[in-house]
Amino acid sequence: MPHDPHSRAAFATRQVHAGSAPDPISGSRAQPIHATSSYVFESAEHAAAVFAGDEPGNQYGRMHNPTTDAFAARVAALEGGVAAVALASGQAASAATLLALARPGARVVCSTNVFGGTATLFRRLLVPWGVELVQAPPEAEALGDALDERTVACWVESVANPSGAVPDLPRLAERCRDAGVPLVVDNTWGCAGYLCRPLEHGATAVVHSATKWIGGHGTFVGGVVVDGGDFDWSAGRVPALSEPDARGRTPQDRHGSAALAVRVHELGLFTLGATLSPFAAFLGLQGLETLDLRVQRSCDTALELAHWLAEAPAVKRVVYPGLLEHPSHEVARRVMRNGFGAVLAFELADEASARACLDALALVSHLANIGDAKSVAIHPWTTTHQGMNESERRAAGVTPELVRLSLGLEDPRDLRADLAQALHVAGVCS
């Protein structure tokens, strides 16, 4: 990764400048969208050198695009990583990372509190392929106790969807380091480092659904993997990252601290073709430029509404790590910064009330996303987490009576009014 002159700048400066500079040919201040599938080589010798990796350069649009690379570099700068790869979706980012680390016969330890799509990835792809999945609650000691010498990854979410569970990342990273296991954190809810920076807590790599707060406007689907760059692959825990090639060089010899990012790039883009479009990457860059402002506003609204919902008679329970009574509150205070996230969940009397509440919402959109500038809500039990069986859903903190609410940028008074009328309808229905 080329030296980034903004790497020492403050977060707000990096979110606007890192990874991109005025275009040297046109003078364009905004990052141009490179709508191209391919790149002209200077000579046959140049083409061969670029393909051999002996010279930097763009090979082909499935693997390389300057707009997409600028987007990935900016996320790497915000998370404090050495390199990043942008992919077609958060799901593709998770899949490419797990495929980069695991092979049949390997073992992955995963928190029970994960997004339904991640659970599906294990069920449909990794487990049938021969990877052993071991699940444990999101506490550092429970996950740490599940690690063994065959474990190639420990997978958690920085703030779990939708339980709000926050693992003690410094302690978990210590357990993983002692066991020689890479720690991968899905930091989607950590908002590209504004709320949580897992690499600073000792994680090996970070995965994002850029569809959420990074984009921030519900306008594209994308994902990013960030390599923290300080895991020692030479110990051989992940054979694909320590085996020498025909010339006797290991991935670490060839790619230094970015060995994992390069493998994710090879698998996710070159091999699987889960390439992010440059148009989407441009939207990602636009979203990042206002990240801290948007996330701060949404977090403040979430905290205010969490307190207000806790007093509402129709609400049985509010799930938000910013509330004192949330089991992760104390850990969240240490592991997070600037706020406790833009998503809360609340339980009503029963499933019928939860569904009636969603049907009655007018300002809040009923849809399957989070991190939009517009507030959105859903019933995870019958949608995002439907692919899990009942006990898996309950272990992930999903119940039939739960509504998930992702706060956008509207005036909190208008959101309160919409929720109040929807809760009234739900109360009448229960």
Residues in contact with ligand PLP by CB under 6 A are 89-91, 94, 115, 117, 157, 161, 186, 188, 209, 211, 221, 223
Rounded to 5 degrees, φ, ψ at 215 are -70, -55
3-state secondary structure of 420: helix
Q: In the complex, what is the shortest distance from the CB of residue 205 to ligand PLP, in angstroms, rounded to a whole number? A: 14
Q: In the complex, what is the shortest distance from the CB of residue 189 to ligand PLP, in angstroms, rounded to a whole number? A: 6
Residue nearer to ligand PLP on the CB measure, 199 or 274: 274
Residue nearer to ligand PLP on the CB measure, 106 or 343: 343
DSSP secondary structure letters along 42-110: SSHHHHHHHHHTSS-----TTT--HHHHHHHHHHHHHHT-SEEEEES-HHHHHHHHHHHH--TT-EEEE
- Per the rule left: phi > 0, alpha: psi between -120 and 50, beta: everything else, 359 is alpha
Residue nearer to ligand PLP on the CB measure, 151 or 188: 188
**Is the separation of the CB atoms in 34 and 65 below 8 Å?**
yes
Q: In the complex, what is the shortest distance from the CB of residue 92 to ligand PLP, in angstroms, rounded to a whole number? A: 7
Residue nearer to ligand PLP on the CB measure, 312 or 344: 344
Residue type present at position 77: A
- What secondary structure letter does DSSP report for 382? G
Rounded to 5 degrees, φ, ψ at 95 are -60, -45
Q: In the complex, what is the shortest distance from the CB of residue 369 to ligand PLP, in angstroms, rounded to a whole number? A: 7
Q: What is the Cα–Cα distance from 8 to 221, expressed in whole angstroms?
A: 29
Q: In the complex, what is the shortest distance from the CB of residue 193 to ligand PLP, in angstroms, rounded to a whole number? A: 15
Q: In the complex, what is the shortest distance from the CB of residue 296 to ligand PLP, in angstroms, rounded to a whole number? A: 20
Residue nearer to ligand PLP on the CB measure, 67 or 211: 211
Angle at CA 74, nearest 5°, toward 4 and 375? 160
Residue with the closest Cβ to ligand PLP? Answer: 90
* Terminal Cα-to-Cα distance of the chain (whole angstroms): 57
**Is the separation of the CB atoms in 208 and 186 below 8 Å?**
yes
Q: In the complex, what is the shortest distance from the CB of residue 186 to ligand PLP, in angstroms, rounded to a whole number? A: 5
Residue nearer to ligand PLP on the CB measure, 204 or 384: 384
Residue nearer to ligand PLP on the CB measure, 117 or 170: 117
